[in-house]
Structure 1
Amino acid sequence: MGQIGAVEVHPADPDVVYAAALGNPWAKSDERGVFRSTDGGRSWDQVLFTSDSVGAIDLEINPANP
């Protein structure tokens, strides 16, 4: 995933983890955006991608609607 800006764990399910990925800061990269794991971080799916030059740096989980 390149550089990671933030990691958040679901408040009710510790197997669900989100990561904000900056990707490679010096080159275009498809490893940017927000990634989610549903198995405690063993595997990851990209759930938000804007472009190969825009990454994510922060996350916040809404506790009322995680």
Structure 2
Amino acid sequence: MPAKSKSQQMAAGAALSAKRGEQKASDLKGASKSMYESMDEKELEKMASSQRKGKPDHKSDS
């Protein structure tokens, strides 16, 4: 599933980095921490690599 916003994409990128051992998982907070715990590397890669152009900064609640 591709990211719906820039912030969601950035959180997925941080979680993916921790999954790969490039950064400490203990440094993660909020959405990136929950993504790290609940998603596998393939799902995170798909979300983090989606196009950023045209996406809102934050996903709206509606």
Q: Same fold (TM over 0.5)?
A: no
Structure possessing the higher relative contact order (Cα contacts under 8 Å, 6 or more residues apart): 2
User: Which protein is richer in helix relative to its size?
Assistant: 2
TM norm structure 2 = 0.28
Determine which structure has more spread, i.e. the larger CA radius of gyration: 1
TM norm structure 1 = 0.27
User: Which protein is richer in strand relative to its size?
Assistant: 1
